[in-house]
Every structure is written in structure tokens, then in C-alpha cells.
Structure 1
Amino acid sequence: MKSLDRKFSLWTLAWPVFIEVLLQTMLGTVDTVMVSRISDDAVAVVGFSNQLFNALTTLFTTIAAGAGILIAQRLGSQRPEDARTLAVMSVTVSTAIGLLISFVLFFESRSIAMLLGLSEELWPLSDTYISYVGGGMFLAAMTAALGTAIRNTGNTRGPMYTGIFINLVHIVLNYGLIFGKIGFPEWGLTGVTVSDNACRLLSVFILLYMFRHSFERTIRLPDYLRFDLKLFKEILRIGWPMGVNMSCWVFSQLAIYSFLAMLGAKELAARTYMNTLESFCFMLGYAFALAVQIRIAYLYGESRTKEAYAAAYRALAFGLLLVLANALLLYLIGRQMLGLFTSDPEIVAMGVSLLGLNLVLQPGKMLNMALGNALNAVGDTRFTMYISLGSLGIIATFCSYWLGVGLGWGLIGIYWCMIADEYVRGALSLWRWRGKKYLNRAESNRVPAGSGHSMPSVSV
């Protein structure tokens, strides 16, 4: 038990997640720098398309995220076979959903670009990027499900090491295939799509090997045919509100990118560059938020509710310090960083105007991530869904259009709406966590010492 406690400690879980997220962020930055050498239009297409991909990934990350919480809870309550079955089902179902998404994106890329209002001059580039990167979404689905399952067993180092290796390979392939270096053909944006899918495939092979040995019994091929309806219903009970929550966020971002597309390609490019820079601000906070979700789920499974309650505030405190420090650093060097991406003075000016607002945005984002993940960890996923439906629908989406497009405030108006949304959801999540509804329920359901383990209810 002590070894499991160490395995599920906040710092043990958080630092590998941070390294992994840092590498992903750096990779995204390198990608953006390399793509910007093709053209600002290419950057706009990549940023726009990635918002679409993020929206669609919620269809399979719903399963992976719900299963991940239950895996940690089952391990906390000493039920490893259930945890193993949950993990296998999450991989199987996520892959099936990913295959369906890949089929649609590969064959309907032009229709999707037209539907979402992408400028006509960007259609040829979007045909390439949406078709080929989107066609490999089933690999992204497998990677997400495998990585989530592995992390929620307490092994956050394995995905980290995989991320280090894959990121290095990705940088080399991007450099070679975009610019025709080190013996590769010069394929431009097409090279980015080849590099992305090659790295996804390699990641799947590595994580599959790791996944096979993540539980007491080795996972074998026939296990992927097993389906436990009762456990799957539990995944859906926790997962579907999380899926709606994630969908609200990514679709609001997609809507915002559509509004920016209405404003012009330069506004779209500026937001894409700023999105890349902002990633450095919240990555440490995100690492603590993800780690505390795993830890609270494990403690909740063991009915250690007081420790679970305190863990959320500990993660929030560390996260706030880190994101504020990062946001201040970005404010000081942001202009120089933007100059790495583009020499267009209008795009740089737009980005610089957002650096101060980012200092206000990041604490709200950290509050929302930490307390929202804490609520999800104990199964209170419907509450986070309800506040996301309201805040993201009204504040982040409707008000962004009203202020940014309708009243002509542009990027600044949209950014203020994003800030307001984060603080509203964060404050409501804090209020709910302080009420201890699910923690008190677990306390009342606790089995007296010596009578065996109890699994707290996660019904909603």
C-alpha cells in the first residue's frame, strides 16, 4: 500500500506530466515556426484545422477520460481486474470511434472547410491538411486511450519517455519533409501531414507495448474482444458529461476561430501564434491539474476523503504560482517571441496587444482546471458539464461574437470574453468543491475498518 501511495503522490504524478506537456508545447512551437516558413496562410490553416480536430477528439477522449478516473478509483479500492477491463475497453471503443472520424475527415475535407466558413483562398491548403492529418485521427484515438490508461495506473513516466522520443523524431521529420533536408523530399505542408501520422503510428506501437504490462496480468490480443456492459455503463455515466464539457470548450474555440476567420487571415494567424505562446504559461498548471485528478480519484477510491479534499487546494496553490510566473515572463519577452514566427508588423502588433490580457487570463484558467478536475475525479461530472454549457455557450461564444464581430472590438473583445468565461467556471467549481457533496457521500458510505474495502458511489 505504501508503494502505491508513493506512486500516486502529487509530485510523482505531476513532474512527468509536466515534462511531457512541455515537450508537446515545444513541438507545437517548432511546428508553428516551421510552418510559418511556408506562409502565414499555412499557419492559419493549421491553427483552424487543429481546432476542428480538437473538437472531434472529444468523441473518443470521453471514453478514455471516464475510464481513466475509474481505473484510478478501482486501483485505490484494490480491484485491479476491474481496472484492467476498463482500460482494455477504453482502447477498443476509442479506436472504433477514431476510425469513423478518420473516414469522414479524409473524404469530406472540402465540405467541412466550407461549412465552417474558412476563407476560399485557404481551401487548397485545407484540403491537404484536413484530409491527411484528419485521416490519421484513429491513431490519435489509440494514443489518447493508451496514454490515459497508463497514466491512471500511476505510471506517468512511461508516456513521458515516449513523448520525449516521439517529439525528437517529429522535429527531424518535419524539418526534412517541409524543407527537403537530410535526404527527404521537399513536400511543404504535405510533409507536415506525413510527419504527424508517422509519429502517431510510432507512438501507438510504443504505448501498446507499455500498456500490455501495466496491470498484474499481461494484456493479450483476445482481451480486446472482451466487453463488460456493467463497467462500460460506469464509463459512460462519468464520461458522457465530461465529453459534453470538453465538447463545449473545443466547439467554443472552433466558433471563436470561425469568428476570427471572419475578421481576416491575419487575425487568425495572430491568434494561432498567441495560442502557441500561451501554452507555455499554463503547461505546469495543467500538469498539476491532471496529476491531482489522478490522485484524488485514487484517494476517493480508498475513501480517504480529507486527503482528497486538501489535495485540490495544494495543486491549485502550486499551479497559480507557476502560471503567474510564466505569464509574466511571456509578457516581458513576448514581442521577441512573436518575431520568431512572423515579420508581418500587423500580426505582431495584434499579438503584443494580447500579452497583458494573458496575465489576467492564466490565473482564471488555473482555478478552473484544478477545481474542475477535482470534481471530475470524484464523479461530479454533471456539475462541470452544466456550468460549461452555460458559460461557454453564453460568455465564450455568444459574447465573443457580439463584442468581437458585432461591435467591432476584434481580438481584444474576444479575449475579454475568454477571460470572463474562465473565472466564472472556476469560481463555480470552487463553490461546489467547498460544499463536499461527493466527499460527504463517500464518508457516509464508508465500510468500518476490518470489514473490507468499499467503492464510493459515483452515481449522479
Structure 2
Amino acid sequence: MKSLDSSKDKYGLWTLAWPIFIEVFLQTLLGTVDTIMVSRISDDAVGVVGLAGQLFGALTTLFMTIAGGAGILIAQKLGSKRGEDARTIGIMGVTASTAIGAAISVLLAAQPAFFGRLLNLSDELLPLWNVYVSNIGGGLFLTAMIAALGTAVRNTGNTKAPMFTGIGMNALHIALNYLLIFGAFGFPEWGLFGVTVSGNISRLIAAAVLLYVFLYSFDRPIRLADFRVFDRKLFSEIFQIGWPLGVNMSGWVFSQLAIYAFLAMLGAQELAARTYMNTLESFCFMLGYAFALACQIRTAHLFGAARTKEAYSGAFRALYIGLAVVTGNALLLFAVGKQLLGFFTSDPAIVSMGVSLLALNLLLQPAKMLNMALGDALNAVGDTRFTMYIAIFSMSIIATGCSYWLGIHAGWGLIGIYCCMIADELVRGFLVLQRWRGRKYLLKAERTRQLETTEAALSV
């Protein structure tokens, strides 16, 4: 195992962040290209893809519970120079996540209509929904593999490999989309079904590439036989960190899913407008997200190495950089958002709805950055139950309950729902700020370190 000093640059904030940014940018580009190409089919198809994306996001939290907890522990164990433990944790994280993803895939492939009715999807959209969900959902185990493998590799400090894999996956997906949606160069014109074929092929190749990288990401190469390994104690550590993390993630995704269901109640135009705005907002926030995730990896590594003072100050540094970036991006989007919406749709009603949300986005993005940066820092040191508790409280009452009250009951529509989304992010952001400033887990780690040092000195 390399020494901590030799790996210092490897875990630098910018060193970690820029490949994550490129990766996230390409993922967002993938979603945007999908949206643009699908919009050439119909706005109804766009609404189906947007709603299905929320469903997939909700279900992926089931395997991200394991993958996320494993990723944090990998960085911590490597920071404390326990490479073999990190290797075992990575193997178990990938195996368990893939198994969960496979079970979800079977369910989605077999019963797509059940989920469509559960989400109040209209009968006229159901045929498109069944095509998209049964095929993309049937390949969700590939998403599980990519997520688990990418998280493990990223937390070893290697953020470049997932980035390059993302480049290849996106390039292939875009090319296949063009061929299979529109029937270019003699290929079959499959429309929305072509999107699903393209997505599954590109994900399969990406999963294979990341698996190869993962096998050589630790001091001792991983062999296929090693995937049978199971360490009860280490898996318990994964679960202790992971299950609150999973509840937190699922709470957010399910709140977004509920919001999309409310939008479906408002109508297809509102659903399409939110889908287009979600795409634009993703571009707005992606660099902030990269700094937040880099902060989590770096904080976990420093925490494992007992460098708590650096961990504390580093989180604020990531926050300040992220706030500057997302605020600037939100201002840019406010200035050119109307023109960008025109690339997606020519429906004036949908464009008008999107434009009305651009000013509110100036508040939403900084609030998201505050919540994510310091929330991820808390997760990195193992304080995942706190972020879970505040997520359950805020997202169930403010993000979901108030969205229905203002958006549907009071008749405020999209504006009311956005106001509630902003309030949710601000409440959680303020709470994680106060928790991080209290340094509970950092001080506990310092006391433990001092006690171990004292005991070691006395034993000599």
C-alpha cells in the first residue's frame, strides 16, 4: 500500500473533482441527447422517459445503499492503510449491488404496467411506458453493476477510469440512438424502442470495462473466485453506514417521484416542462455535484487517516467553491434559458412554464449545494443517521406534503412545487451546516486516537 503522503495528491479536491465533473457532464449530455432525440418522437414520449427516470432513480437506491456504504468505507480503510479490508469491502459491495439490481430488473421487465398505474399515468401514455420500462428497466442490473464498480474505483482515488468509461458509453449511446431511433443508414426505425436497445448495449460495454478496471484497483488483483468472499464483520460495517444512506437517497428520489406524479395530475404539458427543466438544471449543478462528491471521497480518506482538522476545513472549501460555481451557472441559465428550452420543444405553453421557473432556480441551486456538500461530508465520517433523519422529516413534510398542498390543492401548479423544493433544500442545508460545525464525529475520532496513542505509550 502506498503511504499516505504519496497518495496525498491522489486525494486532492481538484484531482478528484475534475474527472467526476467530466463524467457527470457526459451523463447529463446523455440524458439531454436522449431528451432531444425522444422529443422528435413526441412530447408524450418525453414525459414517459422523464417519469420512468424518476422510477428508476427510486429503485436504484436499493442497491446504492450497499454501493454507497462500501464506497465510503473503501476510502476510510485506504486512509487508515487497511488495504485488504478495502479490497474485501469492494468485492462484497459489487456482488450484493448486482444481485439486488438483477431482482429489480426481473420485476420491471415483468410488470411495467403496474408501476405506470401506480404513478397515475394516463391510459394514452401507457403503451409507450410499457415499451420503455420493460426494456430499460429489464437491464437495470447493468446500472447496478456500473454504479457499484464506479463507486468502488472512484473511492480508491481513481476518478479518471469512470470518466473515460463514461466518454465511451456516451459516444456509443449517441451513435446508436441516431441509428435506431430514426433508422439511419438502413438500420431499423425503432423509435422509443431504439432508445432502449441503445441504452442497454452501451451500459453492457461500460459495465465490462469497469469490471476490468475494478479487478486491478487494489494492491492484490481480484480474481473471479474472490467474488464468493463474505466477511460478516465488514459487511455489517457496510450496512451500518449504508442503510441510513439508502433511506436518505430513497427519500429524495421518492419525493421527486411523488412530485412527478403530481405533475402527471396537472397534465402532460406540465410533466414535459419539468422534464426539460430538470435537464437544464442538471447542467447547471453538475460541477457543484462534482465538488460535493470529491469532498466526500477526500473527507472519508482524511477521516480514516485521523487527519480530522484537514477534513473539517476541506469540506468548507469544497462548499465555497461549489456555491460560487452553481450560482454563476444559475445566472447563466437565467439569461439564456428561454432559448435553450426552444431546442427541446416548439410548444409555447411548455416553454412559458419553463421560463417561469428560471428565477426560482437562482435560489434552488445554491440551496442544493449547501445541502449536498456538507451532507456528503457528514456521510463520509459515518454520520449517516443524522442526514437520514432530517431527510425523512423535510422531504416527507416539505418537499412532498407541501408540494401537493401548494401545487395541487391551492392551485399554484409548477410554481408552488418549486417553492417547496427550495424550502426543503434550505431546511436540510441549514441543519447539516450546524451539525458539521459541531464536529461530533471528528471530535470523537480525535479522542479515540488520543486514547490509542496513550495506551500504546503505556504498554511500552
Cα 1:451–1:281 change in 2 (3 A) is: farther
In 2, Cα distance between equivalents of 1:72 and 1:125: 42
Residue deviations 1:383-428, cap 9 Å, x none? 0000000000000000000000001000000000000000000000
Aligned counterpart, 1:257: 260
Structure 1 residue 289 displacement after superposition: 0.3
The aligned runs of 1:36-51 (5 Å cut-off) are 36-51=39-54
In 2, Cα distance between equivalents of 1:51 and 1:169: 24
Aligned counterpart, 1:455: none
Structure 1 residue 255 displacement after superposition: 0.1
Structure 1 residue 449 displacement after superposition: 9.1
Aligned counterpart, 1:189: 192
Structure 1 residue 281 displacement after superposition: 1.0
The aligned runs of 1:283-432 (5 Å cut-off) are 283-432=286-435
Aligned residue pair count: 452
Tell me which amino acid in the other structure corresponds to 1:172.
A
Residue deviations 1:349-375, cap 9 Å, x none? 000000010001000000000000000
In 1, Cα distance between equivalents of 2:161 and 2:140: 22
Structure 1 residue 209 displacement after superposition: 0.6
- SS of the equivalent of 1:312 reads helix
Aligned counterpart, 1:148: 151
Aligned counterpart, 2:247: 244
In 1, Cα distance between equivalents of 2:6 and 2:128: 51
Aligned counterpart, 1:448: 453
Residue 84 (str. 1) matches residue 93 (str. 2): no
Residue deviations 1:135-156, cap 9 Å, x none? 0011100000000000000000
Aligned counterpart, 1:116: 119
Aligned counterpart, 1:175: 178
Structure 1 residue 451 displacement after superposition: 5.3
In 2, Cα distance between equivalents of 1:449 and 1:368: 37
- SS of the equivalent of 1:383 reads helix
- SS of the equivalent of 2:248 reads helix
Q: Which moved more, 1:107-116 or 1:61-70?
A: 107-116
Tell me which amino acid in the other structure corresponds to 1:20.
E
Structure 1 residue 111 displacement after superposition: 1.2
In 1, Cα distance between equivalents of 2:455 and 2:200: 52
Tell me which amino acid in the other structure corresponds to 1:382.
R
In 2, Cα distance between equivalents of 1:231 and 1:15: 31
> Following TM superposition, where does structure 1 have runs of at least 4 consecutive aligned residues deviating by more than 4 angstroms?
449-452
- SS of the equivalent of 1:215 reads coil
Structure 1 residue 159 displacement after superposition: 0.3
In 2, Cα distance between equivalents of 1:259 and 1:86: 40
In 1, Cα distance between equivalents of 2:257 and 2:185: 36
In 2, Cα distance between equivalents of 1:361 and 1:307: 29
Structure 1 residue 183 displacement after superposition: 3.5
Residue deviations 1:29-52, cap 9 Å, x none? 111000000000000000000000
In 2, Cα distance between equivalents of 1:359 and 1:26: 22
Structure 1 residue 3 displacement after superposition: 2.1
Structure 1 residue 182 displacement after superposition: 3.1
Quick one: percent identity of the two aligned structures?
69
Aligned counterpart, 2:168: 165
Q: Which runs of 5+ in 1 are unaligned?
A: 453-460
Structure 1 residue 245 displacement after superposition: 0.2
- SS of the equivalent of 1:3 reads coil
Residue 104 (str. 1) matches residue 107 (str. 2): yes
CA RMSD of aligned residues (A): 1.1
Residue 282 (str. 1) matches residue 270 (str. 2): no
